[in-house]
Amino acid sequence: MKKVLVVLAALAAFSSFAQAQETVKVLSTQELATTCKLPASPESRSFCIGYSTAIYDTYLVTRHPQRAKPFICIKQPAPQRDVVIAEFVKWASENPQTADKPAAGTFLGFLATRFPCARK
């Protein structure tokens, strides 16, 4: 695991050095919500599903169960993906203060609100 982190850090350092003049644009909440609005084109729908799934999958694989308590708990059977995405679009429109925030963080916040873990 440490070797992987070292390699990733080296790649990140090289990448930032090689692209020092380039600014990486982060997808905003408003941009994601606009892309995810239904009815969507096949391309928009594919992007929306891929991006939102990647956010959740990253949460799952990066959270260490012994060091960080879960804050998103989706009970099975899980709701349909399109239902959750439609709820996110509605939530984003009801929370305009998040419009210019990075989409990944606000999507996780939405999931935590929509699927909170039971308190013990």
Tens of pLDDT, residue by residue over 68-93, are 888 999 999 999 999 999 999 999 99
Q: What is the pLDDT of residue 110?
A: 97
Q: Which two tokens stand for residue 60?
A: 């799952």
Q: What is the pLDDT of residue 83?
A: 93
Instruction: Report if residue 30 sits inside a domain.
Output: yes
User: Considering the entire predicted model, what is its pTM?
Assistant: 0.75
Instruction: Report if residue 7 sits inside a domain.
Output: no
For the chain, counts of helices (H) and of strands (E) = 5, 0
Instruction: Report if residue 18 sits inside a domain.
Output: no
Instruction: Report if residue 14 sits inside a domain.
Output: no
Nearest CA-CA partner of 50 in 81, 89, 29 = 81
Instruction: Compute the average pLDDT of residues 42-57.
Output: 93
Q: What is the pLDDT of residue 41?
A: 87
How many domains are contained in the chain? 1
Exposed e or buried b for every residue in 8-27, given b needs 16+ CB within 10 A?
eeeeeeeeeeeeeeeeeeee
Instruction: Report if residue 77 sits inside a domain.
Output: yes
Instruction: Report if residue 47 sits inside a domain.
Output: yes
Range of the domain at 110: 25-114
